């Protein structure tokens, strides 16, 4: 990508407190006001968010089309680590993929952002300290089976006319730097690419900028998120897990954590990455959070990543 060309930057509903992980927010914005905020701040695309939040199919399409907002992705978790449930989920994946396609304005090319399911109690419980609990780590055979199922999911997505990426995520079987490396090694990018989330990679012990360089051959989508290691350390000391870390703010506003976004952007340009950057914050909303404060924070997030060279 030409170093002088700015990246296309999207937002996501989770930055505005709308997601499937932290569901007990004190309040939630209406979909139309959230999209109007994104547009007014200067974002040019969005991911879909929880199913039906923006509407299903034509309803979501109309909301995005009216605002000339691109649809860049949809987050769809499956049980890649569990053979007994995975086969039955492929039909669900096909149906959701077709819904995403129907919601996409004509100039959009959204990714199906695959993720391992977030409902394993042990992985959620020991999230952030997996190295201390090897009993919850997949062995080599199970990891190979995980990758095989990932490729099968990619085939379903490709047959529906879209592209798939895998999103390593805290609280899943794909959290630590070592777990990510084991799955990415052998990944067929014609079926499934990599979605590198700077916050989740750092949470798992990886260096996002270094991993952009390492995984450039499979890198197809990027989520921009900050990470506060001191917050995770405090949660670990209190014997907390994934939910506690998220609510404590381990993924703060951009610029409030430890991520070197300048290094991230330089690595992306050196790798020739020319896709979207999706700003995500993984936040929950409290009673004292106002609409004005929420908009101001997301405007600041955009300013931070632009100032980093994006």
Residues 96-123 have pLDDT tens digits of 999 999 999 988 999 999 999 999 999 9
Query: Looking at the domain assignment, is residue 80 inside a domain?
Result: yes
Q: How many domains are contained in the chain?
A: 1
Residue 262, domain extent: 9-307
- 229-249 in b/e form (b: 16+ CB < 10 A) is eebbeebbeeebbbbbbbebb
Partners of 165 in beta bridges: 113, 193
What is the domain-level CATH number for residue 80? 3.20.20.150
Residues 238-289 have pLDDT tens digits of 999 999 999 999 999 999 999 999 999 999 999 999 999 999 998 889 999 9
Query: Looking at the domain assignment, is residue 90 inside a domain?
Result: yes
Query: Looking at the domain assignment, is residue 253 inside a domain?
Result: yes
Query: Looking at the domain assignment, is residue 19 inside a domain?
Result: yes
Q: How far apart are CA 172 and CA 181, in angstroms?
A: 15
Query: Looking at the domain assignment, is residue 3 inside a domain?
Result: no
Query: Looking at the domain assignment, is residue 2 inside a domain?
Result: no
pLDDT of 1: 55
Query: Looking at the domain assignment, is residue 45 inside a domain?
Result: yes
Query: Looking at the domain assignment, is residue 1 inside a domain?
Result: no
Partners of 75 in beta bridges: 113
Q: What is the pTM of this model?
A: 0.96
Residues 30-89 have pLDDT tens digits of 999 999 999 999 999 999 999 999 999 999 999 999 999 999 999 999 999 999 999 999
Using a 10 angstrom Cβ sphere, with 0-12 exposed, 13-18 middle and 19 or more buried, the burial of residue 299 is middle
**Residues 6 or more apart whose Cβ sits within 8 Å of residue 67:** 35, 36, 39
Residues 163-217 have pLDDT tens digits of 999 999 999 999 999 999 999 999 999 999 999 999 999 999 999 999 999 999 9
Ramachandran region of residue 272, left (φ > 0), alpha (ψ -120 to 50) or beta? Answer: left
Using a 10 angstrom Cβ sphere, with 0-12 exposed, 13-18 middle and 19 or more buried, the burial of residue 36 is middle
């Amino acid at each position: 990508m030409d170093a002088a060309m700015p990246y296309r930057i999207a937002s996501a509903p989770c930055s505005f407190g709308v997601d499937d992980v932290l569901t007990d927010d004190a309040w939630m914005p209406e979909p139309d006001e959230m999209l109007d905020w994104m547009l007014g701040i200067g974002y040019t695309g969005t991911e879909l968010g929880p199913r039906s939040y923006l509407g299903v199919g034509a309803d979501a399409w109309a909301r995005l089309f009216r605002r000339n907002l691109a649809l860049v992705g949809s987050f769809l978790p499956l049980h890649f680590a569990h053979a007994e449930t995975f086969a039955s989920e492929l039909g669900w994946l096909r149906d959701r993929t077709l819904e995403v396609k129907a919601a996409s304005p004509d100039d959009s090319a959204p990714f199906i952002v695959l993720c391992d399911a977030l409902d394993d109690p042990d992985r959620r419980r020991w999230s952030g300290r997996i190295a201390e609990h090897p009993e919850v780590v997949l062995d080599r055979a199970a990891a190979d089976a995980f990758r095989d199922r990932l490729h099968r999911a990619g085939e379903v997505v490709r047959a529906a006319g879209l592209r798939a990426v895998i999103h390593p995520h805290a609280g899943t079987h794909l959290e630590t730097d070592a777990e990510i490396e084991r799955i990415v090694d052998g990944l067929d990018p014609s079926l499934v690419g990599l979605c590198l989330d700077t916050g989740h990679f750092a949470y798992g012990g990886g260096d996002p900028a270094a991993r952009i360089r390492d995984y450039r051959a499979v890198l197809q989508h990027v989520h921009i998120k900050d990470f506060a290691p001191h917050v995770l350390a405090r949660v670990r000391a209190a014997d907390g897990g994934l939910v506690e870390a998220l609510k404590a703010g381990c993924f703060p506003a951009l610029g409030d954590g430890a991520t070197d976004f300048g290094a991230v952007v330089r690595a992306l340009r050196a790798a020739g990455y020319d896709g979207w950057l999706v700003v995500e914050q993984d936040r929950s909303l409290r009673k004292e959070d106002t609409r004005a404060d929420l908009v101001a924070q997301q405007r600041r997030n955009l300013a931070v990543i632009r100032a980093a060279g994006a």
